[in-house]
Amino acid sequence: MVSLTIDGKRIEVPEGTTVLRAAQSAGIEIPTLCDHPELTPYGGCRLCLVEVEGIRNPQPSCTLPASNNMVVQTNTPKIKEARKFVLTLIFSERNHFCMYCQVSGGDCELQNAAYREGMTHWPLQPNWQGYQVDASHPYIIIDHNRCILCRRCVRACGELVGNFTLGFEERGAQSLLVADIGTPLGESSCISCGTCVQVCPTGAMIDRWSAYRGKETQLDHTTSICVGCSLGCGVDLQTRDNHVVRVYGDWENPVNEGILCEVGRFKPMVEKNQRVNVPLVKKNGSLKAATWEEALNTVANALKSSANQTAALISTRLNTESINAFSQIFRDGLKASIVTSLEEGKFTPSGAQKEGTLADIDQADVILIAGEDLTRDHQVLGFAAKRANSRGSKLVVLNAETDGLDAIAAVSLKPKKGAEGEVFSALTSALAGSISEETCKKTGVSLADLNLAAEVLKNARKAVVVCGKEISNQPMSSKLLFTLASKLDAAVVLPKGGANSLAAARQNLDQSFSLNGEKAVFVALGDDTPSQRLLKKLEGVPFLAVQASYYSPLTAQADVVFPVTAWGEETGHYVNYADVLQETKACLTPSEEVWSNLSVLQGLAGKLGINLEG
Amino acid sequence: MTKPKISSDWMCGCAGCHMSLLDIDEIIIKVAELADIRSTPITDLKEPDAGGVDVGILEGGIANSSNEEVAHRMRSRAKILVALGDCAVFGGVPAMRNFCGIEAALRRGYVETESTDSEGRIPDDPELCVQQKVRAVHEVVPVDLFVPGCPPEAEVIAYVLTELAQGRKPEISGDKLHWH
Amino acid sequence: MKAYRSMVLVSSDPSSIARGAQEVYQALQAELEKFGLVDEVTLSMVGDIGRHDAAPLVIVYPEAVIYGPVKPSDVPFLVEEHLYKGRIASGLQASVRELSGRIAWISARKGTLPAEKRIVLERAGIIDPTSIDEYILHDGYIALGRVLSEMTPLQVIEEIEKSGLKGRGGAGFPTGTKWKFVSRAQGSKKYVVCNADESEPGTFKDRLILEGDPHSILEAMAIAGYAVGANEGYIYVRGEYKLAQERLAIAIHQAEEMGFLGENIFGTNFSFKVHIHSGAGAYICGEETALLESIEGRRGEPRPRPPYPTTNGLWNKPTLVNNVETLANITPIIRNGGAWYRSIGTPSSPGTKVYTILGKVNATGLIEVPMGITLREVIAIYGKGMKNNASFKLAQTGGSSGSIIPATLQDTPMDFDSFNRAGVSLGSGALLICDEDTCVVDLARVLVNFFRVESCGKCNPCRIGTQRSYEILTAISEGLGTMKDLEYLQTLSDNMNLLSNCGLGQTSGTPLRDVLKYFRAEVEAHIKLKVCPSGICPMSGHIS
């Protein structure tokens, strides 16, 4: 611990703490611009300058380590002058005229800083050089005219997401934010995670879907989670007039620490599916609006007559409450022949010596990623792998298909489909012995690659294994991978499947299915999208009931459709991949005739005379 | 004690700041009691008294030689010069044209507008004032008080006027400080 | 190695080569053979040895007679007259007016050899820089041998401290103290970095050392490594210095072959490896922390300080960063002792300083003189007076971050302390001498423009401050300045100094500060009278 004095206040902080953080911990506010709590201090904007006794020049508190007996002043006339000067310069650099900016009036940290210093005007005008606006990206707009060159976006892109798309070209006053080597953002290596937009302090990076639709300060904020996949990333859902205006990552949520992928951040904005607003019942071959009473009765009667010759399927995007009610109705009540989830697979094999999380990936020096392209699925795990890689961790990628991480992997193994298990056992034996030519033939992986992979794994100080869905779906392969992991003393990260994959699995709802003359099928689809596979399987079933938020080919096939709430309209619990129980919160009001998924199931249970517990 | 004289004028702006001034509603009566409202764009008198006024208020940026003249005249006749609104304080919306240049801005405005037919041309009557790079008032003449806002809220204007009318210097900070 | 009667040097800088130095060298070889002088006369190609007006130059020692420009057809006469008959080959001597730098200096001393106070440049121009044998013959690697066999690391540092040597990169920090900091820093892995990214406009002293005497830097780095406990060194060489890089590479190879670098040097358990890292043209990489970032493969931007490189340097390890000229002082200090070094120069700034003289003097070029010489002396003696007998107006030191020294300060001794007291700085050792035809607004504008272009862009005061200063100066030079602008220039200069992140940003406002301090009236003339007294500025602007 070191002890220092800031503005006359004695403060104790752990060694290595910056003066800025020390001040903040004591409730002393120092204005900042380039600083961001989640990013490495940069020291570029010079707004956080403080006076330190014994040092001639004002010091940037964001990079200055606190030291014992340091005496710091944060609000002297000299410092106030310096701040005003720095702000004056920034305002004079580019087009910072607030009257035509989308973030003016609360969302702009630059404007807020100027207000804080009581600036009624700026003494220096810019040189009126205009910059092209980069609007090539589907979600993100870069307006260089608003950029203050603080590098928050650059640091976020590299440090948090490991993508290193953003950088700076040229130097001095010519410095310009660029993607890749000056490529338009839309054609660059950008993966649309939008973290840059979230950290931008001004209107330089805005997302085109939410721009001019409301300032953060005017919107309602709801802390919730994303149900796009099993990770359950924390989100700050920003709404206004019953619309989602913006989705930000929740810095406070330990699952993702503020980082989202394209699916979590932008999909809710761009998805324009047509909502089902009233119960629908098929009459004379076409779906007609009906009352809830009629719709529920129709389904209840059909289920009663089909009894155990019923198939019931539920999406893992639905909350635990719905999943529990679902399994009570169909498995316990109706004793239906098929009761499972739409994932149609086992993604939660047991037997790993220790299960790990994203944090293990962050801390590992060798990361074995098997059977899943983390740049496509469970992307936030992929970000962790990429940023770990940028800090020197080695990646071993095993995927029969092309994998987005191939390019940065120390070694990328491409076994024949189904031969993954062989590779794992070969690697396990290679840790102690050697690899035979025969193995190479069987797996289709070269000896050189296998040896290299074994070498990398052997030298790991802290390895972690990601067991993707292509592996977790195969009991034998997973077992062999777990053996390898335990030999490496590595935690196994099981990304699993959809948002509530684990909760569904605990209800045994992770069986694959094929219809065998079932008379009725009930699908609790919620706001999920039906797969082609599912549609095919359900073709020509005698009776199909669907509870869905949106019209889809599946609802078109259905005899009865229950309109249900979508994400953002329903409060409920989810168990994420790492067994963390989280909650989505309702912040939008659905239209009158739309019921929650749980209410529909409860209504149905009532009609069927089944008592629901818990 | 004689009442302080207040004059105002506008230059390159949208008149919105003067609209906001009118939005002070009945307070204008109080201001009129406290001060002698002289020339303004919305009163009959069009030029500040040659003998001088106590407070001169300018709206708008300085976009041409005529604006420049107005600014110099107001400065020379007013004891306290107030820049009212973002255009006067920063250059504001008119200053957007500085980013593309006068030529391009005039062409866009007079020739390339969607509603302009083939006859469109940039006015070039020699009697017209000369267009310049748009400047904030303080770039041309010294300013004593800056009241930013687009437009400044009526409450802020009311506060500024009543303070000035009573010989005090208004403090623009906290809730009264807005650039938007 | 045997002794020779005469030594003949041929200049081999690019302009000499372009003007046939190679042919002259071959002709000399042929003639020496013809006269049977091969065993008596040694012939070498050496690096850049002065201004190029009289290139290629042939210098004959021990008489130190300078011939130039020499054509191959002059060679038979030259060899016969001077080397065979022993008298000066009349008509071929370079005219003194065309000579510059050290050549002029040697010339001025009428053949006294070597010039009295050459420490840093003791071998440059005399030995063949690609020959380790010649370096060894000229006391090379003696210092390293002594250090490794007779001295403890602490004794080495004490000797350097005793010498009073101060860093020659511009800041003038005591070298011994810096070494002590690094030696005391925690950590088993440490680095020595030689800053050879000489990028200050008008400064080319380091280049001469590197091109003419590369081994002296390697030896000094090894000594520094031994003293601070480092076993690896980097020389960060400016990208444009291709010849220096080539010669360093040759020198490293030779030194490794002979066991002066590499594992177990002189059979001790001290090992030291040196890498060359080429810059890529960014001025900012001369700043030590930006230089470290660049070696690590990142964009050259200065790091925040603290922590300092002495504790958290290259790859976060304790690192000693010294300038080339500083390191060039190390071996002489070890060989002759710190007390000897202290006897040269002034008490507070011992040693010599290498200056590059530029501008409106009769002789420009490189000189090495004891600390404490005055500007008036430099101009009169080494510059051979002002060109066209013009009057001296100002000098600008140390490239762009140097000070502008008005004529009133020309009798101030040029050493760190005296300059500090006078409120100016010695900078990196360039002396741009200006006469009355120089307009200070124009000069400041040119200097600020350099910074504007070369600022790394990381911190606001430097990036934006230099840009705004440049624009204001441009407006003043066009007759559009206001008195308010002057106030703002002052604010900009003060605040760039106070608030910038690195040393380069902090000094980028120095030219402005000095101009406003010493030449305010001249600047005001531009604003109030719309007149440029020197007739340089266009003064033709209008608000458009």
Mean pLDDT of C403-411: 89
Intra-chain end-to-end CA distance of chain A, in Å: 49
Specify the pLDDT at position A384. 97
Count CB pairs under 8 A between chains B and C: 5
What gap in Å lies between CA C113 and CA C7, rounded to an integer? 12
Specify the pLDDT at position C201. 84
Q: Are A64 and A224 in contact (CB under 8 A)?
A: no
A501-529 residue pLDDT tens: 999 999 999 888 999 999 999 999 999 99
Specify the pLDDT at position C62. 65
Q: What residues 441-500 of chain C have any CB closer than 8 A to a CB of chain A?
A: 451-461, 463-468, 471, 488, 491, 495, 498-500
Full-model pTM? 0.89
Give ipTM to 2 decimals.
0.94
Best residue in A87, A102, A121 to probe B by mutation, most B CBs within 10 Å?
A121
- Among the listed ranges A493-502, C119-128, C263-272, which one has the minimum average pLDDT value? C119-128
- C188's CB contacts (< 8 A; 6+ apart) are none
Nearest CB partner across the interface for C464, out of A57, A82, A173: A173
Mean pLDDT of A364-369: 98
Q: Chain B interface residues facing chain A, Cβ-Cβ under 8 Å?
A: 83, 86, 89-93, 95-96, 98-100, 133, 135-136, 138-139, 143, 145-148, 150, 172-173, 177-180
Confidence of residue C105 (pLDDT cuts 50, 70, 90): very low
Q: Is A352 left (phi over 0), alpha (psi -120 to 50) or beta?
A: beta
Mean pLDDT of A279-308: 95
Specify the pLDDT at position C13. 78
Specify the pLDDT at position C110. 40
- Among the listed ranges A423-432, B4-13, C245-254, which one has the minimum average pLDDT value? A423-432
Asked if residue C3 has pLDDT above 70, the reply is no
Specify the pLDDT at position C64. 65
Whether A120 sits inside 8 A of B91 (CB atoms) is: no
Whether A100 sits inside 8 A of B148 (CB atoms) is: no
What gap in Å lies between CA C174 and CA C350, rounded to an integer? 11
Which of chain C's residues have a Cβ under 8 Å away from the Cβ of B132? 543-544
Whether B136 sits inside 8 A of A121 (CB atoms) is: yes
Q: Which of B85, B74, B60, B87 is nearest to B5 (CA)?
A: B74
Nearest CB partner across the interface for A130, out of B92, B99, B143: B99
Confidence of residue C45 (pLDDT cuts 50, 70, 90): confident
Instruction: Determine how many CB atoms are found less than 10 A away from the CB of residue C480.
Output: 18
Helix (H, G, I), strand (E, B) or coil at B89: helix
Q: What residues 286-305 of chain C have any CB closer than 8 A to a CB of chain A?
A: 299, 304
Q: Are A6 and A23 in contact (CB under 8 A)?
A: yes
Whether C488 sits inside 8 A of A123 (CB atoms) is: yes
Asked if residue A454 has pLDDT above 60, the reply is yes
C346-371 residue pLDDT tens: 888 899 999 999 999 988 888 888 88
Nearest Cα of chain A lies from the Cα of C509 at a distance, in angstroms, of 15
Give partners of A (≥3 CB pairs < 8 A): B, C
Alpha-carbon dihedral sign for residues A189, A195, A199, A203: positive
Specify the pLDDT at position C204. 87
Asked if residue C211 has pLDDT above 90, the reply is yes
Intra-chain end-to-end CA distance of chain B, in Å: 38
Whether B102 sits inside 8 A of C543 (CB atoms) is: no
Specify the pLDDT at position A439. 83
Mean pLDDT of C60-66: 72
Whether C459 sits inside 8 A of A82 (CB atoms) is: no
Q: Are A321 and A593 in contact (CB under 8 A)?
A: no
Specify the pLDDT at position C100. 46
Specify the pLDDT at position C111. 36
> How many CA within 13 A on the CB side of residue C192?
32
Determine contact: A170 vs chain C, CB below 8 A: yes
Whether A98 sits inside 8 A of B92 (CB atoms) is: no
Q: What residues 485-544 of chain C have any CB closer than 8 A to a CB of chain B?
A: 543-544
Confidence of residue A614 (pLDDT cuts 50, 70, 90): low
Specify the pLDDT at position A480. 95
Which of chain A's residues have a Cβ under 8 Å away from the Cβ of B134? none
A223-243 residue pLDDT tens: 999 999 999 999 999 999 999
Name the residue in chain C with its Cα closest to that of A91. Answer: C464
Determine contact: C420 vs chain A, CB below 8 A: no
Whether A128 sits inside 8 A of B173 (CB atoms) is: no
A50-73 residue pLDDT tens: 999 999 999 999 999 999 999 999
Q: Are C113 and C198 in contact (CB under 8 A)?
A: no
Name the residue in chain C with its Cα closest to that of B132. Answer: C544
What gap in Å lies between CA C409 and CA C395, rounded to an integer? 10
Nearest CB partner across the interface for A43, out of C457, C463, C501: C501
pLDDT-above-70 percentage for chain A: 100
Asked if residue A214 has pLDDT above 90, the reply is no
Q: Are A563 and A279 in contact (CB under 8 A)?
A: yes
What gap in Å lies between CA A434 and CA C386, rounded to an integer? 81
Q: Which of A186, A207, A193, A185 is nearest to A162 (CA)?
A: A193
C298-353 residue pLDDT tens: 999 999 989 999 999 999 999 999 999 999 999 999 999 999 999 888 888 899 99
Instruction: Look up residue C288 and give its two tokens.
Output: 């030590």
Mean pLDDT of A474-489: 94
Q: Give the 3-state secondary structure of A451-508.
A: HHHHHHHHCCCCEEEEECHHHHCCHHHHHHHHHHHHHCCCEEECCCCCCCHHHHHHCC
- A161's CB contacts (< 8 A; 6+ apart) are A191, A193, A195, A259, A383, A386, A387
Name the residue in chain C with its Cα closest to that of A85. Answer: C495
Nearest CB partner across the interface for C452, out of A57, A170, A172: A172
Alpha-carbon dihedral sign for residues C396, C397, C403, C407: negative
Which amino acid appears at position A530 of this protein?
A: P
Mean pLDDT of C273-288: 94
Best residue in B99, B103, B156, B169 to probe A by mutation, most A CBs within 10 Å?
B99
Asked if residue A222 has pLDDT above 70, the reply is yes
What gap in Å lies between CA B17 and CA B149, rounded to an integer? 8
Q: What is the CA radius of gyration of chain C?
A: 24
C171 compared with B94, residue with greater pLDDT: B94
Best residue in A42, A89, A164 to probe C by mutation, most C CBs within 10 Å?
A89
Helix (H, G, I), strand (E, B) or coil at C17: helix
Which of chain A's residues have a Cβ under 8 Å away from the Cβ of B177? 115, 118, 120
- A64's CB contacts (< 8 A; 6+ apart) are A18, A19, A20, A50, A52, C304, C306
What gap in Å lies between CA C258 and CA C395, rounded to an integer? 46
Confidence of residue C185 (pLDDT cuts 50, 70, 90): very high
Mean pLDDT of A5-24: 96
Nearest CB partner across the interface for B173, out of A104, A118, A122: A118
DSSP assignment, residue A563? E
Best residue in C305, C463, C480 to probe A by mutation, most A CBs within 10 Å?
C463
Confidence of residue C11 (pLDDT cuts 50, 70, 90): confident
B48-105 residue pLDDT tens: 999 999 999 999 999 999 999 999 999 999 999 999 999 999 999 999 999 999 999 9
Best residue in C471, C478, C480, C543 to probe B by mutation, most B CBs within 10 Å?
C543
